[in-house]
Structure 1
Amino acid sequence: MAIYQVSTATPTREQAIALAQSAVRARLAAGAQVIGPVTSVFWHDGEFGEGEEWQLLLKTTDARYPELEQHLLAAHPWQNPELAAVRVVAGAEGCLRWVEEMTISNGI
């Protein structure tokens, strides 16, 4: 089973925490960190911009990723949010096992 670290960002800390809580409670992610504020520099709707965001990092498995993506897109405050998943190629065995165990859809 592959482990992913999934990232997105929100305009407020409260929104990032709400997404983290709902994803972890549903066991779509084993855990999450909210980081911020961070400064983002970007192009959006043809305009150059800079803004403050709160980054959200979640840990999940390849089996749970499709549901996590669907959940985040449905609950996200932005219409077309950044959402990326990076496969974890190495990590502490106990941590990787924890992600697998915590994302079992029927719970433990």
Structure 2
Amino acid sequence: MTEVVQVSTATGTREQAVQLAESAVRGRLAAGAQVVGPVVSVYWHRGEFGTGEEWQLLLKTTVERYPALQTHLLEHHPWEKPEVVAVSIVAGSEAYLRWVADSTEPDA
């Protein structure tokens, strides 16, 4: 079975998150994406404590396609050092996992 990961990042606006989602899915770097928000973030940035409203972007892809997705997100993200992390999906329906794999085939 193909290894699948969920990749997350966040943006300052809904529109930015949707643009990243659309470009990643259209490019077959991710099978699908959800934009969630707004969410409240609490963080340290440049030595200062802060809070802010962000839009979370969750994308599903294969382990094989993750490096290309990461590169895409970092190149097109509006922030200088965005969070781009992946967590393994340890279980899922076979049909769903196959859909992710099929949808992220570069030549599909």
Q: What TM-score bracket applies, with the shorter chain setting the length?
A: over 0.9
Q: 2:69 matched to which residue of 1? A: 68
Distance 1:32 1:71 in 2: 14
One-letter amino acid of the counterpart of residue 20, structure 1:
A
Equivalent residue of 2:34, what SS?
A: strand
One-letter amino acid of the counterpart of residue 75, structure 2:
A
Unaligned stretches of 5+ residues in structure 1: none
Q: 2:16 matched to which residue of 1? A: 15
Shift of 1:22: 0.1
Distance 1:104 1:18 in 2: 21
Distance 2:34 2:55 in 1: 10
Q: 1:106 matched to which residue of 2? A: 107
One-letter amino acid of the counterpart of residue 26, structure 2:
R
Shift of 1:92: 1.1
| TM-score (norm: length of structure 2) | 0.98
Unaligned stretches of 5+ residues in structure 2: none
Q: Please tell me whether residue 55 in structure 1 is matched to residue 63 in structure 2.
A: no
Equivalent residue of 1:104, what SS?
A: coil
Equivalent residue of 2:98, what SS?
A: helix
| TM-score (norm: length of structure 1) | 0.98
Q: Deviations over 1:12-41 (max 9, x none)?
A: 000000000000000000000000000000
Equivalent residue of 1:106, what SS?
A: coil
Q: Please tell me whether residue 96 in structure 1 is matched to residue 97 in structure 2.
A: yes
Q: 2:36 matched to which residue of 1? A: 35
Q: Please tell me whether residue 87 in structure 1 is matched to residue 88 in structure 2.
A: yes
Kindly report the root-mean-square deviation, in angstroms, between the aligned alpha carbons of the 2 structures: 0.5
Runs of 4+ in 1 over 2 A off after TM superposition: none
Q: What percentage of aligned pairs have identical amino acids? A: 65
